[in-house]
Structure 1
């Protein structure tokens, strides 16, 4: 298989899903794309920081289970 064959084969992938093949460079500059990517990453990072870590989530679940089951080992006097 030659390079031209690979190009044609790879161009067929978007067509299989019914999408149009992009043939032009576009209108957004490199700097604009980097600025947008940085903005989106900052939003994602802020969202991530507000989520509990896996350890915190596990701890919260253990506390919920413990509170739901009630005290153990204590007998009514």
Structure 2
């Protein structure tokens, strides 16, 4: 089974084996790219009509790496 969001409960479910994988939205990147686009717009620069903030497949092979990344960005405790 596959989840979608990349939140702590989904990642915990991957770690305990009750979820096979999760498609994580990259909230940090969403926010960063949104602010970056807003600054460009305020400065009169052209802003793309579509900005892809990406996503990441999280599964048992990269789950710990994902957790470390979230903690490094101060998004998780």
Same fold (TM over 0.5): no
Q: TM-score, normalised by structure 1?
A: 0.26
Q: TM-score, normalised by structure 2?
A: 0.26
Query: RCO (CA 8 Å, sep 6+): is it higher in 1 or 2?
Result: 2
Q: Determine which structure has the larger helix proportion and give its number.
A: 1
Which structure has the larger Rg? 1
Q: Determine which structure has the larger strand proportion and give its number.
A: 2
